[in-house]
């Protein structure tokens, strides 16, 4: 017994008495402590060590002399002392408390500083990642061919660049750091449990494979649920965008009730998709709590038997119960973040569908090639269909000579705009090829091609910004006099002079601050400023008032001078001024020639002219 007391730094007080520090007493084996208590050899009374300089405060019978020169007094002996005496005796302890308080306060300050920089660094890293992913995704979207935009509504694409990327941001901020902290705690707890008792630790952690199996099962279901939810939200965004853009039609035809019902149906399907993912986690979270309770019950059952057999102490069992509860706190925390992680994974899958796109054809051409400019445009056996099996163009053949002005006419749906779409490389022909100066247009780099051809489309679109920005985009005005000629040649100076801001006038979203004719003139100026040799006008004077039409027709005459021009025309005056007219009928070139020739010999053209005369 004496040898065991010496192991815990016991100090001899008398012949058969020892003083043991409370912390050291816990190091004695449970059998030794029980043996001392049963024989009344262990006093529960508290004693304090008193330095030799303060023994005058106490009576001789109150002091127990230790062999190291200090003294012990009972707790009750301190109660009769005055406060200043107690403070002087415990000066060292008080100083130690002050030191500990200062250390604790410093640690709190350091924790605040480190937490601030951790949050700042985390947010900066997350925002930087989202910035790069968003830019890369936008770049990939811009690189897509036009059929991609036919298949994907604007609301869906906007949802990818905004909501889906924000889900990734939320996962990075709320999940990644938390997971690292929780895993650190988990491994620390496991290490302590194995240190206390290997056998009980193995029994306690037998539930880990069960947790992983359940998590794997629920991850599949949760990701499917989140994938469906994201699709429903995209559909909701698309619906809202279309209805807001078409609000005039809704008001004009009094469609409030019908549109409300349609929105209620789409919104209800979104609600059902949301409830589906809620149900998944409503099962997952209680199941994790059940496993936690089963783990605690297993420890009590198995560990209780170990205590009865005296293989482990009761304190070890209590410690295991505390640690297993601590073990499930980070597990519970990870489970709560699981829905964020699954939503982000579903979003990441959708983003990857766009990010993995690889450009083809002309986009991969790096070498700049400039056609000689003396062989014009040639369509050679070109066929095309927007939908498989429904051809719009059938074996189209025609040529446009350099400097020639070609008018394309035909009934609605005959394929006029499709020819323009193929010539501008918005789509690729299903069969045949299109040549520019003897070179396949899909073998010319994007940069070179954009400098060769300018288009004034049927549906004018202007970006939010000034008139100037919509004319030159990112190009710099190298020669102010040349730019002035562009403005005068396109008859836009009169429009600019109407506004106090002049050319810096903000056109608004989609050009909403300008009239239809003004937007058309801005688009003509944009084409003129490109200084390309080929100009394409797709019904450039449609839906224009007579006054503005005169300005546009005059501008077109100036712009097409010394250029190769292809004009999809619906005005008789425009058709008559063309060098040659292509009559498109049912996706084929039915007739071609000048106005007088087609009037005399043509079959389709005279009928079209009759319609054009009726329209003015």
pLDDT confidence of residue 581: 93
Distances (CA, A) of 101 to 108, 456, 583: 10, 77, 94
Exposed e or buried b for every residue in 80-111, given b needs 16+ CB within 10 A?
A: ebeeeeeeebbeeeeeeeeeeeeeeeeeeeee
Chain-wide mean pLDDT for the chain? Answer: 81
Q: What is the per-residue pLDDT across 477-499, written as a single tens digit (0 to 9) for each? A: 767 888 888 888 888 888 888 88
Q: Determine the 3-state secondary structure of 161 from DSSP.
A: helix
Separation between Cα atoms, residue 371 and residue 437, nearest integer Å: 6
Is it the case that residue 366 has pLDDT exceeding 50?
Answer: no
Owner of token pair 């992913």:
133
Q: What angle do CA 593, 431, 567 make, to 5 degrees?
A: 35
Q: What is the per-residue pLDDT across 294-319, written as a single tens digit (0 to 9) for each? A: 888 888 888 888 777 767 777 788 88
Global pTM reads 0.66
Separation between Cα atoms, residue 540 and residue 403, nearest integer Å: 19
* Percent of the chain whose pLDDT exceeds 90: 15
pLDDT confidence of residue 45: 67
Is it the case that residue 507 has pLDDT exceeding 80?
Answer: yes
What are the structural domains of the chain? 144-355 (1.20.1560.10), 377-615 (3.40.50.300)
Is it the case that residue 182 has pLDDT exceeding 80?
Answer: no
Q: Are strands 405-410 and 580-585 parallel, antiparallel or unpaired?
A: parallel
CB 346 within 8 A of CB 226: yes
Q: What is the per-residue pLDDT across 372-416, written as a single tens digit (0 to 9) for each? A: 555 689 999 999 999 888 899 999 999 999 889 999 998 888 999
Separation between Cα atoms, residue 299 and residue 309, nearest integer Å: 15
- Please, which residues have CB within 8 angstroms of residue 392's CB and are 6 or more apart in sequence? 384, 385, 386, 415, 418, 587
């Amino acid at each position: 017994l004496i040898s065991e007391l010496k192991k815990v730094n016991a100090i001899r007080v008398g012949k058969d008495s020892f003083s043991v520090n409370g912390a050291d007493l816990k190091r004695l084996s449970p059998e030794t402590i029980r043996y001392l208590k049963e024989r009344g050899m262990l006093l529960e009374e508290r004693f304090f060590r008193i330095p030799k300089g303060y023994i005058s405060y106490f009576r001789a019978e109150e002091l127990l002399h230790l062999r190291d020169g200090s003294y012990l007094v009972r707790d009750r002996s301190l109660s009769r002392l005055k406060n200043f005496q107690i403070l002087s005796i415990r000066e060292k302890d008080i100083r130690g408390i002050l030191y500990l308080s200062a250390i604790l306060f410093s640690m709190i300050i350091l924790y605040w500083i480190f937490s601030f920089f951790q949050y700042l660094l985390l947010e900066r890293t997350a925002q930087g990642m989202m910035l790069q992913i968003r830019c890369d995704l936008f770049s990939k979207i811009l690189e897509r061919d036009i059929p991609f935009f036919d298949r994907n509504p604007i609301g869906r694409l906007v949802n990818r660049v905004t909501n889906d990327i924000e889900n990734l941001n939320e996962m990075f901020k709320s999940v990644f750091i938390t997971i690292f902290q929780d895993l650190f705690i988990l491994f620390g707890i496991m290490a302590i449990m194995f240190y206390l008792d290997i056998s009980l630790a193995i029994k306690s952690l037998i539930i880990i494979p069960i947790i992983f199996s359940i998590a794997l099962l629920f991850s599949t279901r949760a990701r499917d649920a989140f994938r469906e939810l994201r699709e429903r939200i995209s559909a909701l965004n698309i619906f809202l965008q279309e209805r807001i853009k078409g609000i005039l039609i809704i008001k004009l035809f009094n469609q409030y009730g019908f549109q409300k019902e349609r929105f209620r149906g789409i919104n209800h399907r979104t609600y059902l998709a949301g409830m589906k993912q809620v149900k998944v986690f409503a099962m997952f979270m209680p199941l994790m709590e059940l496993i936690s309770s089963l783990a605690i019950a297993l420890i009590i059952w198995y560990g209780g038997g170990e205590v009865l057999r005296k293989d482990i102490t009761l304190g070890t069992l209590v410690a295991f119960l505390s640690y297993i509860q601590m073990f499930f706190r980070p597990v519970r925390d990870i489970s709560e973040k699981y829905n964020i992680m699954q939503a982000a994974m579903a979003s990441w899958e959708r983003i990857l569908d766009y990010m993995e796109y690889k450009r083809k054809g002309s986009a991969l051409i790096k070498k700049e090639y400039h056609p000689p400019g003396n062989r014009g445009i040639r369509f050679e056996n070109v066929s095309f269909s927007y939908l498989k099996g429904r051809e719009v163009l059938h074996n189209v053949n025609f040529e446009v000579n350099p400097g020639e002005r070609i008018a394309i006419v035909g009934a609605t749906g005959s394929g006029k705009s499709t020819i323009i779409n193929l010539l501008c490389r918005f789509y690729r022909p299903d069969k045949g090829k299109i040549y520019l100066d003897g070179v396949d247009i899909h073998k010319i780099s994007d940069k070179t091609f954009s400098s060769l051809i300018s288009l004034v489309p049927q549906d004018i679109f202007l970006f939010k910004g000034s008139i100037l920005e919509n004319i030159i985009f990112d190009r710099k005005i190298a020669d102010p006099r040349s730019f002035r000629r562009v403005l005068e040649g396109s008859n836009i100076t009169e429009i600019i002079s109407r506004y106090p801001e002049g050319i810096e006038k903000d056109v608004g979203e989609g050009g909403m601050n300008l009239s239809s004719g003004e937007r058309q003139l801005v688009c003509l100026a944009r084409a003129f400023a490109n200084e390309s040799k080929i100009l394409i006008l797709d019904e450039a004077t449609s839906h224009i008032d007579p006054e503005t039409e005169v300005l546009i027709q005059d501008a077109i005459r100036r712009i097409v001078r010394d250029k190769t021009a292809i004009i999809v025309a619906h005005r008789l005056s425009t058709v008559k001024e063309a060098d040659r007219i292509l009559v498109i009928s049912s996706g084929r070139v039915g007739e071609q020639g000048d106005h007088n020739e087609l009037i005399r010999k043509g079959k389709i053209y005279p009928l079209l002219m009759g319609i054009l005369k009726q329209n003015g």
